[in-house]
Amino acid sequence: MEILDLTESLDREFISQVEEESGQRVRLCYQCGNCTAGCPYTFAFDIPVSRMMRLLQAGQKDQLLSSHSVWLCATCESCTTRCPNGIDVARIVDVLRHMARREGYATERGVKVFWDSFLESVAKHGRVYEMGLLTSYIAKTGKVWTDAELGPRILPKGKLHLTPSRIQGREAVARIFERYKEASK
């Protein structure tokens, strides 16, 4: 078992950064476990959500940002809704995910690539183009579409368009992304 020197690895800077970006007070968590009890993803998480809160109080930046949990949280808002201390836990997990992105952690690469492909599609067309999103996901992950068996079920329904729906305002949307990139430099 790995022995952790909590004093050594306590990163106060990190705690206040999470508090600042999420607008939440990390100290308020008293480890009741309600968030974990209601979290439908605990079975897939490597660190359950209440434990993430505890590690956050202990300033364990590296453990948190390299966790799978930050990528697997679905923002289902169960933890936020049920926290007796009114902590917006889902927002904290979202902020940890932002930090993990910025610092180059991506322990669930498929999940990240899927979301990135989605946003690229929005930046390009102004709306998400589902067929293009899937093509780009396959190209980037090198996975042949693992949903191939769904093709025969969905294609005859005429639900997946083969061309994007382009809008007048697509440049206005692209500018939102550009300004965001500029501002976050």
Partner 1 sequence: MSPAYAYYPGCSGLGTSMEYEQSTRAICEALDVNLVDIPDWSCCGSTPAHTVDHTLSCALAARNLGLVEKMGLDTVITPCPSCLTNLKTAVHRMGDEEFMRRVNSLLDEPVGNTVRVKSVLQALIEDVGPEKLAERVVRPLSGLRVAPYYGCIMNRPPEVMEFDDHENPVAMDRLMEAIGAEVAPFPLKVECCGASFGVARKDVVARLSGKLLDLAEANQAMAMVTACPLCQMNLDLRQGQINAATKSQHEMPVFYYTQLIGLALGLDESSLGLNKLCVNPGLALREAERKTAEAAS
Q: Which residues bind ligand SF4 (CB under 6 A)?
A: 29-35, 38-39, 41, 49-50, 53, 73-79, 83-85, 87, 89-90, 93
* Interface pick for partner 1 out of 40, 142, 148, 185 (rule CB under 8 A): 40
DSSP state string for the chain: -----HHHH--HHHHHHHHHHHT--GGG-----HHHHH-TTTTT-SS-HHHHHHHHHTT-HHHHHT-SHHHH-----HHHHH-TT---HHHHHHHHHHHHHHTT--SSHHHHHHHHHHHHHHHHHSS--HHHHHHHHHHHH----TTGGGHHHHGGGT-S-SS----TTHHHHHHHHHHHHHHT-
Sole window of 9-17, 49-57, 59-67, 121-129 interacting with partner 1 (rule: CB under 8 A): 121-129
Sole window of 7-15, 47-55, 57-65, 146-154 interacting with partner 1 (rule: CB under 8 A): 146-154
* 169 belongs to the binding site for partner 1 (CB under 8 A): yes
* 108 belongs to the binding site for partner 1 (CB under 8 A): yes
Joined together, the tokens standing for residue 165 give: 């729906």
Buried residues in 66-91 as b, exposed as e (16+ CB within 10 A): ebebbbbbeeeebbbeebeeebbbbb
Q: 130: burial class by Cβ within 10 Å (0-12, 13-18, 19+)?
A: middle
Joined together, the tokens standing for residue 156 give: 């005859």
Sole window of 5-13, 28-36, 54-62, 74-82 interacting with partner 1 (rule: CB under 8 A): 74-82
Q: Which does 155 bind (CB under 5 to 8 A by kind): ligand SF4, partner 1, none?
A: none
* 127 belongs to the binding site for partner 1 (CB under 8 A): yes
Q: Give residue for tokens 């697509």.
A: 170
Q: Which does 37 bind (CB under 5 to 8 A by kind): partner 1, ligand SF4, none?
A: none
Q: Find the shortest distance in angstroms from Cβ 151 to partner 1.
A: 11
* 139 belongs to the binding site for partner 1 (CB under 8 A): no
Give the residue with the Cβ less far from partner 1, 2 or 40: 40
Residues that bind partner 1 (CB under 8 A): 40-41, 43-44, 72, 74-78, 80-81, 88, 90, 94, 97-98, 101, 108, 110-111, 113-116, 118-119, 122, 126-128, 130, 134, 137, 146-147, 149-150, 153-154, 157-161, 165, 167-170, 172-173, 175-177, 179-180, 183-184
